[in-house]
Amino acid sequence: MDYGASLWGFYNDPDEFIKKLDQRLTNKTGVGLIERLEKAFGKSEEIANTIKQNLINGTFKFIILMDKVPKDLKNLILYMNQNSQFNVYAVEMEYYKHDDYEILLPHVFGAESKKKTVKVSERKKWDEESFFQVAKLAPESYKAVSKLYEFSKKNADEITWGTGAATGSFNPKFYEISGRSIYTVWSDGRLTMNFEWLDDSEKTLEWREEFRNKLREIKQISSYIRKGANKYPIIPPNARPPVVDHIISVLKRMLKIT
């Protein structure tokens, strides 16, 4: 579950996921994802779009290989499969040895459950107008969100918008540091620091750790940002001015903005 949640949460841009998967396959085998799909199915674009949609919706199939599947785990798998939009399968490998032969008999649990109808919220493409229409519904954090947006709009090289079904987000990019966003601001007031994304170069890695340390010096948020540990620390909506003023001040110093 943690792996699936990380996959779903990290790749809020499914095009980036497809691109990385294609590059890794090319580097390891010499044949990329798109080329493999073309050879196998002849409809690479359609299948790639399905992969992207499943990633956005968190529609995954988990396969767990075990020596023995306990009864309690079987019940849990049936429950999850009937009441969620993803599927979990446990494969129990029954082992026998006879003379020089080794025999493995797989038994699959989870495929027998019938999925209940689950309504999946459609993703949407946010923009400035739709984002702030939702952000205004949380007046306690609206001022902080507005300050972060004005700072980002004025100084970032690019701002991309999220595709969440109900919660909007924007991602400022500062190309001198990284091709990906340093932080993500959500319409409900949350602020995510995207430390894991900042791995473009040694220079970026050094900048990331210095940035992390500077943020930890802000007493009100230091507990959310553990030293060298959490990849995407989330600063909750109560981090409003003057805390946001401190965060912007750190960003200005780190980005050398006057």
Give residue limits of the domains in the chain.
1-59, 72-119, 128-255
Q: Position of tokens 């841009």?
A: 13
Backbone angles phi, psi at 173, to 5 degrees: -120, 130
User: What b/e sequence results for 99-138 when a residue is b if at least 16 CB atoms lie within 10 Å of its CB, and e otherwise?
Assistant: eeeeeeeeeebbeebeeeeeeeeebeebeeeebbebbeee
Listed residue (196, 154, 188, 189) closest to 172, CA to CA: 154
Q: How confident is the model at residue 116 (pLDDT cuts 50, 70, 90)?
A: low
- Strongest mean pLDDT among 70-79, 108-117, 178-187: 178-187
Q: How far apart are CA 91 and CA 69, in angstroms?
A: 8
How sure is the predictor about 239, in pLDDT bands with cuts at 50, 70 and 90? low
* Structure token digits, residue 122: 């459609």
CB 189 within 8 A of CB 209: no
pLDDT of residue 156: 95
Residue-wise pLDDT tens digits, 29-69: 988 888 888 888 777 777 877 887 788 777 888 888 888 88
Residues whose CB falls within 8 Å of the CB of residue 234, separated by 6 or more in sequence, listed in order: 190, 191, 192, 224
Q: Beta-carbon neighbour count of residue 17 at 10 Å?
A: 17
